[in-house]
Every structure is written in structure tokens, then in C-alpha cells.
Amino acid sequence: MALLEIDQLAVSYNGNPVVSGLALQLEEGEIGCLLGASGCGKTTVLRAVAGFEPVRGGTIRLAGATVGAPGRSVPPEQRRVGMVFQDYALFPHLDIAANVGFGLGKMNRAGRAERVRAMLALVGLEAMAQRYPHELSGGQQQRAALARALAPSPQLILLDEPFSNLDAELREKLAQDVRAILKAAGTTALLVTHDQHEAFAMADRVGVMHAGQIRQWSTPYDLYHRPMDRFVADFIGEGAWLAAEVNEAGEVTTELGVLNGIRCAEDATTRQLDVLIRPDDLVHDDTSPQKARVLARAFRGAEFLYTLALPSGQRLLSLVASHHNHRVGEEIGIRLETDHLISFSRQ
């Protein structure tokens, strides 16, 4: 049985439906992630799971018990759900130890002190116990908030954009740290973010959200390599759509020739296709007879991302090691190296 089961969830905000028909399942000990642009309703889902937003339709079940359904809502304080807020929401009038112990009101003094110590050790903040929130760095505050949420041993931890207030360089490191802490605590967690890198670094399962619904709920690898619809294919990673046709022999032909690779699209009956070419599918090869003109380039340190135009005007992206330094307007040789094809019927 899944720890968190959301079924046909509908939530409104100020009378407008924000989430509708949303479903997901999270197994015990798993880390899930809702990924989407701002305004897609992902934070609303999180707040509904926490019990801060009323459910208009569907159900939210925690460990088999229904905690949220229309007209039937277990209050947040009884759900045993911890939450780490985007701005951490630490209490400025309490030191870190008191912040972490805030939710341990039912324990006796010794038990509380012991639990606080254990939590601070888990997040590596033992030395900061007597400090106040404003004396900590952003990353330390975040870990303090995590320790506070973990302290009452919740069955589920929710994290709202946990890294958005931190420096970009710190994020990936912290995402790995937080993942390690959650795994060490054995806690089930659900986070929301708009950043794919964060989602991929943190989560076992990721749901791409759009307009209040989950378009695909799977592992990060499958999201990138086996997107189930055009939206997910466009949203995750980069790429360009290339027109293709299925010939009599069943091969996929394009203006770059026949594409080799496992076809994973389900709509195999149609002849007119669009194939997603990822920048890493298109290899720069000076010896290739196939030429493309450089339209633009973005330097990314180790690589260049070239925007290329085929003679037909078709545009493609290519990731090339940055010692291949070509000017805009130059013709360069290219070659497709596809392993599997992400293709959809032409629209």
C-alpha cells in the first residue's frame, strides 16, 4: 500500500479551480517531486496534502486513512505531516534548538532535548543549537527547517521549493545533502520545484505538472528519455522537432536520412511523425557529408550549444565540445546518433 495516495484531486483557490483530476502514489520511503512552471498548481497540491487548503473533489489518503476529501478534512496538526517552507518560516524569537523542539510539546523535557540533539546531528547543525535563525546562512536555515519538520517523526515531509532561496552553486550540493538526510531518516517526502536539475537530483519519482494536472509521473530517466506526450517532451530538457515519415519498410525517414533506434512512441499507425532530436543526439563530425549552418551559439564552458539550420530551413540544436569553435554563419558537418526515438504523430 502506498503511503500517500492522491486520487482525482480537485482544489480551488479564490473560487478558481487550480488543480483538477490529479492523481499520484508515493511508496513509503520514496521521494517524490512535482515539477512545473509557476502557477501550475503544484504548491496548491502540497498545501492540500498538508491540510492548509480544502479539497473540492477527490481524496487524499495517508497510510490508508482518508485525510482530505470534500467536506471532510483532518486538520493539519493531526495529519503527522511535516512541512519545509520556501522561506523556511523559522521562528525568529527562538534559537535553533527551540525551533527544532517547537513541535515536541507532548514529550517530557529530557526526551525533547534528546530528540532535538538527534535531529541537529542528523542535519549537521549541532554547533548552531544556541544560535538564532538570523545568524545562520541560507543553507543552514534550510537544514534547521528540515530538522524542525522531521523532529515530531512525521509520516510524510513536504518541501515547497526548498532550494529557490539559495545560490545556484549551492543548490545541487544541498539537494544531494537533503536527499541523504531524508533517506537516512527513512522519511517519505514530496517536494515541489520548477527546476529540473533539483527534481532530478532529489527525487525517485517526478511528476510533470501543467494546468493543474500531472502529465507524467515516472522516474527522472523516463521523463527525459520516454516522455509520454509533447508537453513533457518539450518541458524536459532541450531539443528540436524534426519532420519524419514512415516508409513502406517501416523505417523512419527524415531529411537527414533514415533514423535508427528503438521507437517508443505508441502511435505507430501514423505515417507522418515529429521526432524530438535532443542536442546530444546530433553529433558534430567534420567528415560528415551532411552540412548545417550555424545560426547562433551559446557558450557553456565545456560545451557549445549550437543552433543549426539545415538547407531546408529546419532548425536543430547540437551540443558540441567547446574546442570546436565555429563562427555564426559557418557550415559544419553533422551526424545523427540516436538510440531511441521520441516521436509523435504530426499535428
Name the site residues for other proteins (rule: CB under 8 A): 50-52, 75-77, 79, 81-83, 85-87, 89-94, 102-103, 105-106, 145, 148-149, 152
Comparison of 157 and 206: residue with beta carbon closer to other proteins: 157
Integer Cα distance of 160 and 170 in angstroms: 17
Kindly state the smallest distance separating residue 190's Cβ from other proteins, in Å.
Answer: 13
Kindly state the smallest distance separating residue 76's Cβ from other proteins, in Å.
Answer: 5
User: Could you tell me which of 256, 272, 273, 271 has the C-alpha nearest to residue 338?
Assistant: 256
Kindly state the smallest distance separating residue 83's Cβ from other proteins, in Å.
Answer: 5
Burial 101-111 (b: 16+ CB within 10 A, else e): bebbeebeeee
Q: Strand, helix or coil at 144?
A: helix
Comparison of 47 and 278: residue with beta carbon closer to other proteins: 47
Q: Strand, helix or coil at 113?
A: helix
Kindly state the smallest distance separating residue 103's Cβ from other proteins, in Å.
Answer: 3
By CB atoms closer than 10 A (0-12, 13-18, 19+), residue 248 is exposed
Kindly state the smallest distance separating residue 161's Cβ from other proteins, in Å.
Answer: 11
Comparison of 123 and 319: residue with beta carbon closer to other proteins: 123
Comparison of 50 and 334: residue with beta carbon closer to other proteins: 50
Kindly state the smallest distance separating residue 154's Cβ from other proteins, in Å.
Answer: 8
Integer Cα distance of 346 and 77 in angstroms: 50
Comparison of 187 and 307: residue with beta carbon closer to other proteins: 187
Kindly state the smallest distance separating residue 170's Cβ from other proteins, in Å.
Answer: 21
Backbone angles phi, psi at 232, to 5 degrees: -65, -40
CA dist 51 to 54, 66, 203, Å? 7, 12, 23
Q: For the beta carbon of residue 169, count every other beta carbon within 10 angstroms.
A: 8
- Helices (H), ranges, 85-167: 96-101, 109-123, 138-150
Comparison of 149 and 232: residue with beta carbon closer to other proteins: 149
Judge whether 31 and 207 are in contact, CB under 8 Å: no
Comparison of 84 and 203: residue with beta carbon closer to other proteins: 84
